[in-house]
Chains A and B, each alone.
Chain A
Amino acid sequence: MHVSDSLTYSTPAILANLPNPQLAEAACPRRTRQQLDLLLLAIEALDLGGSEALLRTARELELQDIIHNRVTLWRIRSTNPLRRSSQRSPLTLPEAKALVVITCHLARRLTVIIRQLLLAHQQLQDKQLSPEHNFRLSFYLERFRAHFRARMNPKRAAVMAYNSNEKLDELAMQLLSQLLFCTGTAGPQRLWSSLFDGEVA
């Protein structure tokens, strides 16, 4: 028993089916860091207790060795280059894997609301109505915009691209549909491999 304990301590079993990509460096590329943080931002906008849920999930999935506490989580997420005080420190592969597993776990729990919002958005679009006509959808979009504006550095070119409500709503909906694909059977593997598209040798 003791041996198996120490094994899981070094690499949590839940991360085992996410293979290491063939990267030029040992740390995660820019798009990976950005995408992971934005997906979590969308989850926070969906779920009122989102940021607490992130930590709770890390504990449930026994990822405390990688994500010790709120500060570690915050530091890992601050590797997103768009953040106001983006950290220069790298995002390691185990940290990125932990975020992938947490994201997919939470997305699965939010499956119903994610599907409802996507369908509602589609229906409003077909009728050429604005998202405000659906209370839950506009609530999500509003919260996403607030989170994004509060945390991202408006002087960065990549953030300036989202300078209007419409563009941020578009990003929020894109992230929502990406979260839908995270809810599936192969969600973690799909998300993981998509994070390195165009980054591997």
Chain B
Amino acid sequence: MTIQRQYSLPNCKLVLEGWEDSSNTTSMDGRPLLSMVANVECYLAGHDKPLSGGREFLESLARVVNRYAQEFLSGVSHPLPEGEHSKELVNIQRLEGDRHRLTVRTPAGENGLQPPNGEAMQSVDLLTVQLFDLVEAIDQMVADGQTLPTVSLNLTPISRRFVRAQEPAAQRAVPAAIGISSLAAMAIAFFFIPVNDYPIPEPDPAREEQLENGTTPTGLNGNSPPIDPASDLESPPVDAEPPADDADPDTNPADAAPEEDSDAGAELNRESSVTVEPETRSEDGEAEDSALESSASSGGSSRPVSANGRASEAEMTELLESAPLIADSDQVDELTQVLRDRIADDWDQSTTFDEDLVYRVGVDADGNIVGFRYVNDAALENIDETPLLDLVVLPTNEVAAGEEPIGQFRVVFTNDGVIQVSPWYGRPSN
């Protein structure tokens, strides 16, 4: 008994004709298993004559369409192994203007319909939507357990071995060129930075002892500088903190570095200027601690704590006053929710204060709290009751502080345990 299966999409109809293998029985739902296919027809919208062929055509169509769909999604082309091109009956090419040319070759003699003296070629141009319908018809056929259960699609990513060779050399050289130029720019920038005179501390017997015990492996390296701020991170108990002046932002090379930001550049910089990054980190780390201390002990009201921990009122005021404001109302709405969720997640709501705590909070485009100010005295006294200090995020060096647009919000912790977040300047009207 001949079985016909049809998979219909708005722009594509795939019709299979075949029969079931005598040994197999009908499935539970009464649909017989189509295991042998005799004829396949693929009707595409806008073309009267279907593409047709036998099982070989169907398998080639499924393979080629599948591969092309993956190329389309990833943008990475899947080259065929040598000699495979001539074997496939079906081929698809990308054309200008989101069109795709499907070509089907019918080998001589097949179907009995083609001229006996050679191959026939048929080609159809498809829009992306039509191509998708073809892919979907095939996917539905493959997903149908009662139709050709042996046909499956190879949905695996292509190996990187095939990709490297495809990129033109010029394209591969671009990231390296950007990296090298940014390295040169860094070198020039560093040239103008005055060398910071570290007072070399007297050797501390306690520290010497620790070094010998091998607790600070960096110190054991004869090549490392006498004071390696990074080692302060690794061994906090050692009392060799540089004087507070060293935290001066003007002399920190990382701050003064040009904002070269290509990825390749950043990576190259990381590799080639190893000493810069630990310094920045340790400095920021210390600064954060000092921010915590100063805010806990400070008595003056409306004392700001900025993200980088340099607790200067002027700087925080400048950040809040001068940084461009995020004006997109959708984004402000989203940030309001992100900010409320973040604070709510970290707040245990156990309130010991009588008055509402009000803060003015600066948030970057992705919801990181970059700084905040106290609005009332209760807010200052009870800062430890709120999670704000924990949530302040150190700025990445990508964008200089004050240049990146920020959103400003009024955050109120009420004494009955409710968090209210609202845009400081109201909702923008765009």
A residues apposed to B, CB below 8 Å? 21, 51, 69-71, 74, 78, 81, 83-86, 115, 118-119, 121-122, 125-126, 146-147, 150-151, 153, 155-158, 173, 177-178, 180-181, 184-186, 189-201
Q: A122-B127, A186-B153 are in contact. Are A181 and B135 (CB under 8 A)?
A: yes
Q: Are A70 and B337 in contact (CB under 8 A)?
A: yes
Stretch from B69-77, B186-194, B286-294 that touches the partner: B69-77
* Complex interface: chain A residues within 8 A of B364 (CB): 84-85
Tell me the minimal C-beta distance from B364 to chain A in angstroms: 6
Tell me the minimal C-beta distance from B66 to chain A in angstroms: 8
Which among B261, B345, B365 is the interface contact of A69 at CB below 8 angstroms? Answer: B345
Which among A119, A155, A190, A192 is the interface contact of B261 at CB below 8 angstroms? Answer: A155
* Complex interface: chain B residues within 8 A of A69 (CB): 341, 345
Q: Are B404 and A84 in contact (CB under 8 A)?
A: yes
What are 12 A-B residue pairs whose CB atoms fall within 8 Å in the complex? A85-B396, A85-B398, A119-B127, A153-B398, A153-B399, A156-B261, A157-B264, A181-B73, A184-B136, A197-B71, A198-B159, A199-B157
Q: Are A178 and B136 in contact (CB under 8 A)?
A: no
* Complex interface: chain A residues within 8 A of B331 (CB): 150-151
Tell me the minimal C-beta distance from B114 to chain A in angstroms: 32
Tell me the minimal C-beta distance from A7 to chain B in angstroms: 25
* Complex interface: chain B residues within 8 A of A71 (CB): 338, 341-342, 345, 367
Residues of B158-176 at the interface with A, using a CB-CB cut-off of 8 Å, are 158-160, 162-163
Q: Are B155 and A125 in contact (CB under 8 A)?
A: no
| A-B interface pairs (CB < 8 A), number | 147
Q: Does B143 contact A (CB under 8 A)?
A: yes
* Complex interface: chain B residues within 8 A of A193 (CB): 70, 155-157
Chain B residue with minimal CB distance to A159?
Answer: B261
How many Å lie between the Cα of A178 and that of B131 in the bound state?
A: 12
How many Å lie between the Cα of A191 and that of B132 in the bound state?
A: 13
Chain B residue with minimal CB distance to A158?
Answer: B263
Tell me the minimal C-beta distance from A81 to chain B in angstroms: 7
Q: Are A189 and B263 in contact (CB under 8 A)?
A: no
Chain A residue with minimal CB distance to B341?
Answer: A70
How many Å lie between the Cα of A191 and that of B135 in the bound state?
A: 13
How many Å lie between the Cα of A85 and that of B178 in the bound state?
A: 21
How many Å lie between the Cα of A134 and that of B408 in the bound state?
A: 36
Q: Are A118 and B128 in contact (CB under 8 A)?
A: yes
How many Å lie between the Cα of A155 and that of B400 in the bound state?
A: 11
Please list the 8 inter-chain residue pairs (A to B) with the smallest Cβ-Cβ separation, ordered nearest first: A198-B163, A194-B73, A196-B157, A197-B74, A194-B74, A197-B76, A155-B261, A157-B262
